[in-house]
Each structure stands twice: as C-alpha cells, then as structure tokens.
Structure 1
Amino acid sequence: MSENFHSIASLGGGHGLYQTLRATRLMELESITAIVTVADDGGSSGRLRKELGMIPPGDLRMALAALAHEDADGKLLSELLQHRFRGHGALAGHAVGNLIIAGLTEVLGTEQQALDTVARLTRSAGRVLPMVLEPLEIEADVAGLDDDPRIMRAVRGQVAVATTTGTVRRVRLVPEKPQANQEATQAIAEADMVTLGPGSWFSSVIPHLLVPGIVEALNTSPALKVAIINLTAEAGETAGFSTERHVHMLRQHAPSLRLDRVLVDSTVLPTIGERRYVEQAAASLGARVEYEDLRAVDENGRVTDIHDPVKLAAALQRLNAER
C-alpha cells in the first residue's frame, strides 16, 4: 500500500459492490466506506420496505457481509447475514441479516445505528452507509415493449427495470433529486480513492449519479475517482450493451460528472477500434481508460464474468501508485 493511500469509498449495490468490497479489504486501508443504493423493491427487502416503511436492507446487508471479519466467527456471521429461510411460511425467503437490521432499527431508532451495530458485532473492515436516508424507487423509460420500437413506456421498480424485456433508455429516481446522506458525501470528500461500480448499471450504479449531492461530492473530492466497468452486459436492463455504451450511460445521466479513470477488463475489447471508442467516451468524463486482467477463474480453470477481488485490489493499488 502506498503511504498516501489510506481510505476508499465504494459506491454501488448488490453483487458488484460485494466484489469491490472484498477487494478493498485486501488493501489494508485505514478506512473503507460502502455507499449503497436504496431502491430495492423485491424479495425480502421489498417486503420489509412495504411492511415497515424502512430503507430496503438487502444491499446494505450484502455490504456488511462482504466486510465481516475473516476469522471463523466473522465468516460464520457473514454466512448468517446472507442465509435465507426456507419453507413456505411467513419467514420463507427472508434473509436473516435483513431481519436483524430491521429489528435493530426499531430498537435503536435509526437504520444507521443498526448498520453500525452489525458492523461492530461482525468486526467489520469498514462502514456501510445508505446513499440517501429514505427508500427510493427507480423508474425507467423502456423501448421495445410495443410493436413500434420508437414508443417508450415507463417501467417502475428495481425488479421490473432489471428484468424488462425491452431496452432501457434512461432511468430516474422517485422522488427526484433526493437529498444525499451527509455522512456519505463526507466519506467521498475525505477518501483517497472513490470507486463506482461494477454492478447492475441502471439499478445499482447509475442511481448514485441521480442524487445531486453525490455528484457534487464526487466532482469536488480530491480523491482518485475510478469507474469499474462490468465484464459483460446483463440480461434484462443492459442486454446488448457494449463497454462504450456503459460509459456513455454515466455521462447521459450525469452530464457534469468528472472521473479520473475508467477501469476495463483487458479481455473485453480485443480490437484497437473498440478501445478507441471507449477511450473517447471516457475522455468526455475527463477520464483515462486503464486495461487490467480482472476476471475470476473458477476451480476448473474457466474464466468467469465475476471480478476477482485479488486482481481488482492489485489494479486499484497500481492506479493509485501511478497517480
């Protein structure tokens, strides 16, 4: 670790943020902060959100699980947080960690106190913060749901957007322009590096850029700001998206956004022409593209579409060292 690299703030949600956090904990930093999207409306999170009016806890729970201590007790608690009840009763499908967060929120008074308590119990490597302090909804303009491909339909809800059979053109938050969590913007301001992505592009990554306070914090932070691009397009919301289009979507949703680096897996873009287009898209954000081997390899030696935490940690450390 470089002497001037002490803290990181990672923005995202779901499995993408989980992998990024697993990478950050390998970097032996003094401060790790996960800043998490809060628009989930499906499964256990959606049920608790509807019944209790709370911020959906699922993505927050996953971040806590990623940061739990690596000893035997920490691994057990991480597994417990992620465990889902089986069966067909009222508890079926609920993640244990979601229920713990919900219960602690009622006992302690705020979800942040609940998250910090779970972090303390799991001896977390970092802190988990919601990007805003209210549950949000995602609404998308989707083409291809009618015979005429020019017709756009509004689709509301994270699950509906993630599973649409159409093509997502743009997303927005409901309510629009929510107030950023001040602790989240402070963490961005104080970080040496900020990462954005990977993850579900329209439902986990771009929502951060629809919060004006988050974008302002990113643009004014002295941190090295790195967008980590997905290894492949996701079925549903980004089906058919190229790497270039992933980058363009960041600019489209946050025209004022400025980044420093765009991190792309070196196997994704085999031709010079494809790389040139991505580099032009990144330049519109003020960023330079960096190519690194980032893919995880499974036990049979096959490459996967998952970021390898060890490779990602090494790549982020190299970016900081080059800075």
Structure 2
Amino acid sequence: MNQSKSMLRVCVIGGGNGSAKILRGLKMHSDELILSAVIAMSDSGSSNGELRKKWGVMPPADILRATLAMSPYDYDMLHKIFRTNRFQYNMENKHYLGNLFLALSEKHHGDFIMGLDALHVAIEALGKAYPVTIEQTNLCVELNNGEKIVGEDLIDRPSFDRTKKIQKAWLEPKVNIYKGAKEAIEQADFIILSLGSLYTSVIATLLVDGVSDAIQNNKKAKIIYICGGACEADGETGPIILSKTLEHLENYIPRPIYEIIYNNHELTDEEVVLYSEKKWNKMELDIDNIVGKILTGVDMEKSGGGISPEKLGEAIYLSINK
C-alpha cells in the first residue's frame, strides 16, 4: 500500500491506436507507474459500425487495442490472436475475435464492462482501460463552409472536398462519462492527450459530458500532449500545423496544456518515399509560434516508419520524472 502511494498515476486519453503505442511504452515502467486509459467510444466505421448497427453494442476495437497494449505478454502475439483472426458469426462481414468477444459479452449479458474486465484478467493487464462512456453516441463536426458531417467514419475518411476544414465538434446525442473513466482522470498525476487523429480520437473523447469537469477537478495533474509529427493524407481535415492543432485542442479542455512532446525525427530520402507510399503527411512543427509551454523534441521514429512505442514511452517517463 505504501508503495502504491508513491507511484505516479498516468491517465492516457484518446483513441485505440495512439493510446496503445503510449501504453506499450509506459508498461515497461509499471513497477513505478499506475496506468489507466480513457478511450473514445464513438467509432462508427468498419467492424465497429456493423456491430453497433446490428447488435446495438458499444464499439469494441479501440478499447481492445488499449487493453492488449497493457499486457505483459508479447503484443504482436496478442494482436495476431485477437486482431487478425476473423469470424463471420452471422454477419455481413467477418470480425476480429477480440471485437466479437467484447461485443458478445454485451449482446448476451447487457454488460460491456463485464467482458472488458474479463479481458483484462485473461491477459493480466498491467493497467486499466476504461470506456469514456457506455452510452451510444455519434461524433459530429461542422466544416468551414457550414456543412455538418455526422459519424466518425465519414469524418475520419472524408468523401467531401478536403479543402473544407473542421471548425468544431460535438456529440449527438450527448452522453455522460463512465464512472471508472471519471475516477481515472481525477486521480491522475499526469494526463496524457494521445497522438493519433485529433478530432476522431482525442477530441471525440474529450467531448463526453463530465470529461472536462473531471480534468478541471484534478488541479494537481499536468496535461501533456503527444504529437507524432505525421498525419494521414486521406484522414480527417483538421489542422496539420502544430500551433493550430494546440489551438483546436485547447478549445475542448478546461485548462492549458503544460508540455508538448513531439517527434523531431528528420526523414531520410528512403523514409520520404515510404511516407508517400503509406499516404502519410508530415505535420508542420512551428515550435517558434508556441509560447508558454514546455516543448520537448524527441526522435521517436521506428525502423520502417511510424512511432516506436519504446522510444515514446521512455520520452514520457523521463518527462514525468523531471
């Protein structure tokens, strides 16, 4: 008990992919950190979308990733088991084993949390992933021409003119924060706003009623934003300049970000080609335009492109132990 009191509580807020990278890195320090994650629950695309429409269940994919990331067992092995094997199960499309496990637990027992708790136990998770809400909702945005887009899938993979930029976001219907998520945020020593899609992952989580209040209630926690330094060329039409990203993000939190940890890796010629093939764009890191915040540049690129969970986790660990 005395040991746990001296351990730092770190709460990651965001979607499944970015949060999973952070948690995979931070779990290496699970003897010193109490890890939690508050995960977006408004995904409406692909497997999540079909499961929501057919069974009326919560979207399982993002929180599945975050939970698997906290297991002491090999992540690639767990990924192959839970996120590679697909089954038809009387559906139009095949679904991952992990998605079906969480969805079926809710479908047959009316309790999404029960299945999630069972998954945590089965993989011996070193932390706790919470859904930001257990109520059904959809992400909505307004573009700079006044057009309204409803649905995370239509925002994340837009079919509209990409020159139309996202101006603001909200949820329909309004939903309330899950009690476990509220407690995780209020008890944290550090709140980490995850890398990943700004609106469909991070802001979608912050929009749930009660999240802003939980952050405001926690006066001690420092807020750290992780910028991976890249974005999907065919993804959401939010800002691609760091200073503008921070402006948008701080519209949805009750107090300023304390520190930005950003990927300062300079791409090689080979990596430029790789990014083009993967349809990734580099963000503009206009750090000279950012004042009043700690800026920490770290090379967190992994071989083959993308973010290294180990490098990212170490950067965050060093930052919170300054």
Scaled by the length of structure 1, what TM-score is found?
Answer: 0.83
**Structure 2 residue 38 is the aligned partner of structure 1 residue 35:** yes
Q: Distance in 1 between matches of 2:127 and 2:315?
A: 20
Q: Distance in 2 between matches of 1:228 and 1:240?
A: 15
Q: Is contact 2:39-2:130 (8 Å) kept? A: yes
Counterpart among 287, 296, 303 of residue 290 in structure 1: 296
Deviation larger for 97-106 or 198-207: 97-106
Query: For 1:152-171, what per-residue CA distance to the aligned partner results, in whole angstroms no more than 9, with x for missing partners?
Result: 21111111001223322222
Q: Distance in 2 between matches of 1:33 and 1:197?
A: 12
State the match for 2:276 in structure 1. none
Q: Is contact 2:16-2:64 (8 Å) kept? A: no
State the match for 1:148 in structure 2. none
Query: How much has 1:289 moved relative to structure 2?
Result: 2.2
State the match for 2:106 in structure 1. 105
State the match for 1:312 in structure 2. 312
**Structure 2 residue 154 is the aligned partner of structure 1 residue 160:** yes
Q: Distance in 1 between matches of 2:241 and 2:85?
A: 34
Query: How much has 1:264 moved relative to structure 2?
Result: 1.5
Counterpart among 72, 80, 84 of residue 69 in structure 1: 72
Q: Is contact 1:78-1:122 (8 Å) kept? A: no
Task: Report the AA paired with residue 301 of structure 2.
Answer: R
Task: Report the AA paired with residue 276 of structure 1.
Answer: D
State the match for 1:80 in structure 2. 81
Task: Report the AA paired with residue 149 of structure 2.
Answer: V
Q: What is the RMSD of the two structures over their aligned residues, measured on CA atoms? A: 2.6
Q: Distance in 1 between matches of 2:193 and 2:131?
A: 14
Task: Report the AA paired with residue 163 of structure 1.
Answer: R
Scaled by the length of structure 2, what TM-score is found?
Answer: 0.83
Q: Is contact 1:68-1:78 (8 Å) kept? A: no
SS in 2 for 1:161: helix
Task: Report the AA paired with residue 264 of structure 2.
Answer: S
Query: How much has 1:19 moved relative to structure 2?
Result: 0.7
Structure 2, unpaired ranges of 5+: 267-284
Task: Report the AA paired with residue 7 of structure 1.
Answer: R
Query: For 1:100-149, what per-residue CA distance to the aligned partner results, in whole angstroms no more than 9, with x for missing partners?
Result: 11222245441111101011111112211100121220111124xxxxxx
State the match for 2:263 in structure 1. 265
**Structure 2 residue 250 is the aligned partner of structure 1 residue 248:** no
Deviation larger for 207-216 or 74-83: 74-83
Query: For 1:274-304, what per-residue CA distance to the aligned partner results, in whole angstroms no more than 9, with x for missing partners?
Result: 3221x23xx3xxx422222222223xxxxx2
Structure 1, unpaired ranges of 5+: 144-150, 299-303
Q: Distance in 1 between matches of 2:295 and 2:170?
A: 27
Query: How much has 1:89 moved relative to structure 2?
Result: 7.6
Note closer, same or farther for the CA distance 1:295–1:111 as it changes in structure 2 (3 Å cut). same
Note closer, same or farther for the CA distance 1:95–1:80 as it changes in structure 2 (3 Å cut). same
Q: Is contact 1:5-1:320 (8 Å) kept? A: no
Counterpart among 170, 173, 177 of residue 172 in structure 1: 170
Query: How much has 1:260 moved relative to structure 2?
Result: 1.9
Ranges of 4+ aligned residues in structure 1 off by more than 6 Å:
86-89
Q: Is contact 2:229-2:264 (8 Å) kept? A: no
State the match for 1:274 in structure 2. 286
Counterpart among 187, 190, 196 of residue 187 in structure 2: 190
Q: Distance in 2 between matches of 1:19 and 1:134?
A: 26
